[in-house]
Chain A
Amino acid sequence: MASNILIVIIVTSIATYLSRFLGVLSSEKIKETSKIFRWFNCLAYSTLAALIARIVIFPSGTLNEVDYLIRFIVIVISIFIFYFTKKNLVYPTLLSGIILSLLSSYL
């Protein structure tokens, strides 16, 4: 089992590094002022947004056990805290975890 785990870890890391490596390779030929750079910039932000939305709306792990409404409430409160604290990132992240833990244990 131990050697299996090691192989799985190595396979996972190669699958992850591959995209990073190919990204650097492609970057050698791309100028930051080019259109293709701006396109990839858009793709990076939109893919990240899609990933985050997927994690929150269709979570696969423990978040799946929390009701949609509770998740929605925590997101709205966190966005409010983010803007209320002049875009401080520590307060909304810290409080989101505490609020969700409390809501999921008492509701």
Chain B
Amino acid sequence: MIDPNYFFKGFKSIKGVGSPAIALGASFIAIGALLKNLGFSIQESIFSTFLTYALPGSLVMAESMLIGASLINIFIAVWLVNARLYPMTVSLMPLLMHENQPRWKYYLSCHFIAVSSWLIMKDNYEKIEKENRIDFWIGIGTATWLVAIISTIVGYVASDLLNKDMLIGLAIVNPIYFMCMMLGAMKTTQISWSVILGTILGPLFYFLSPEWCILFGGFVAGTIAFLYGERNGE
């Protein structure tokens, strides 16, 4: 089944100098408080993080509910904002796939793909033999997922204690964590250019289409970075 040695090795990734626990915790505390204000029960809030586990998607769900959007509109809005998970999955799973491992592990554990767990795995996969990477990944995913669920509960329970300035503080923590991780990941020409161009083109495309700017900006930026890297022999 799952090798406990590698599982716990991955699980321990929430400790130490690269820990995503604070960033994840902060943002899901804010989500917990937001869901309570939207009228969710504590069970529904837990269920939401348990099943979705993707912050921008949960935010879009909350915003869509506030304006009374239809189910199909919610589906499209969430799918659009979370479509980035597709290239993230395609650029991670081939690194973890091994013929000795059962397929269900991949289809089940892809639920754990979110920015923090993905960046941790990308940073560490070379240290683990290919056959054991999936168990290591399930460890990382379980740990980050549990942090998100527990933080949602904390945010829900503590929502009355959180004032506006505290919520603003919580909202910046996650993007700052992601930004620092991305800076740390800029080790090759292709990745560096992908990050730099994505940072510029994403907001630039916002003026053309706020809904599609992440996908359009990301697609153009990533393709230019890829072609540039290939031409320069990377």
Which residues from chain B contact A61 at a C-beta distance below 8 Å? 30, 34, 59, 171
Contact A89 B17 (CB under 8 A): yes
Whether B22 lies near A93 (C-beta < 8 A) is yes
Cβ contacts under 8 Å, A20 to chain B: 85-86, 89, 110-111, 113
The answer on a CB contact under 8 Å between A16 and B52 is yes
Q: Judging by beta carbons under 8 Å apart, are A46 and B218 in contact?
A: yes
Chain A residues lying within 8 Å of B217, measured Cβ to Cβ, are 46-47, 50
Q: How far is the CB of B143 from chain A (nearest CB, A)?
A: 15
**CB atoms of A47 and B172 under 8 A apart:** no
Interface residues on B, range: 35 or more
Instruction: Specify which chain B residues have a CB less than 8 angstroms from the CB of A9 in the assembled complex.
Output: 44, 47-48, 51-52, 61
Q: Which residues of B contact A27 (CB under 8 A)?
A: 89-90, 92-94, 97, 106
Number of CB contacts from chain A to chain B under 8 A: 320
* Complexed CA–CA distance, A75 and B175 (Å): 9
Q: Of B39, B193, B214, which one neighbours A47 at CB under 8 angstroms?
A: B214
* Partner-contacting stretch, out of B2-10, B144-152, B153-161, B194-202: B194-202
Chain A interface main SS type: helix
The answer to whether A2 and B44 have CB atoms under 8 Å apart is yes
Nearest-Cβ distance from residue A28 to partner chain B, whole angstroms:
7
CA gap between A84 and B180 in the complex, in Å: 12
| Complex interface bits, A28-61 against B, C-beta within 8 A gives 1, otherwise 0 | 1011100101111111111111111111111111
Query: Across the interface, do A22 and B165 meet the contact criterion of CB distance under 8 Å?
Result: no
1/0 per residue, CB under 8 A from B, across A10-35: the answer is 11111111111111101110111001
* Contact-residue size bin, chain A (C-beta under 8 Å from the other chain): 35 or more
Distance between A46 CB and nearest chain B CB, rounded to angstroms = 3
Contact B86 A19 (CB under 8 A): yes
On whether the beta carbons of A26 and B90 are closer than 8 Å, the reply is yes
Q: Which of A43, A54, A60 contacts B63 (CB 8 A)?
A: A60
- B165 in contact with A12 (CB, 8 Å): no
Q: Which residues of A contact B (CB under 8 A)?
A: 1-2, 5-24, 26-28, 30-32, 35, 37-63, 65-66, 71, 74-75, 78-79, 82, 87-90, 92-94, 96-98, 100-101, 104-105
Which are the 7 A-B pairs with shortest beta-carbon distances?
Answer: A23-B89, A50-B202, A47-B218, A49-B198, A101-B169, A46-B198, A27-B93
A–B complex contacts, Cβ < 8 Å, 9 sampled? A9-B44, A13-B52, A19-B79, A19-B86, A23-B113, A42-B194, A42-B223, A51-B115, A82-B184
